Amino acid sequence: MAERRVTVQAEVGLHARPAATFVQTAAKAGIDVTLAKVGGQPVNAKSILSVLALDVRQGENVVISAEGDGAEELVETLAAIASAP
């Protein structure tokens, strides 16, 4: 299991373009990947609805998790997107 915890830096939070880029990147992966607020229920990181419903705002911490081939690179890439200002 690969896991990264990052702070969301974008002013809009994980909404709008950051959310779209995040989900599009996750959806290209051939393995399952989840997104959660720290201590919260993980949701499917490939679903724009799930990510929007999670309602992550600027400054909140999230955990990205994946398992399987390429999981390390995937969570690394997604962590970079989620933490980009």
Partner 1 sequence: MPDTAALPLDPRAVLLDAVAADRDDAIRQCGRALLNVGAIEEPYIETMIERERSLSTYVGEEVAIPHGTVLGKDTVHHDAICVVRFPAGVDWDGNRVTVCVGIAAKGDGHVRLLSELAQILLAPDRARALRESADTAGVLRLLQPIGEDSEE
- Please give the positions annotated as active site: 15
Residues contacting residue 57 through CB under 8 Å, at least 6 positions apart = 8, 13
| Stretch of residues binding partner 1 (CB under 8 A), selected from 2-10, 13-21, 61-69, 72-80 | 13-21
Residues contacting residue 64 through CB under 8 Å, at least 6 positions apart = 3, 4, 5, 6, 33, 34, 35, 45, 75, 78, 79, 82
| Stretch of residues binding partner 1 (CB under 8 A), selected from 7-15, 27-35, 65-73, 75-83 | 7-15
Q: Examine residue 32 and tell whether it contacts partner 1 (CB under 8 A).
A: no
The residues binding partner 1 (CB under 8 A) are 12-13, 15-17, 20, 41, 47-50, 52-55, 57
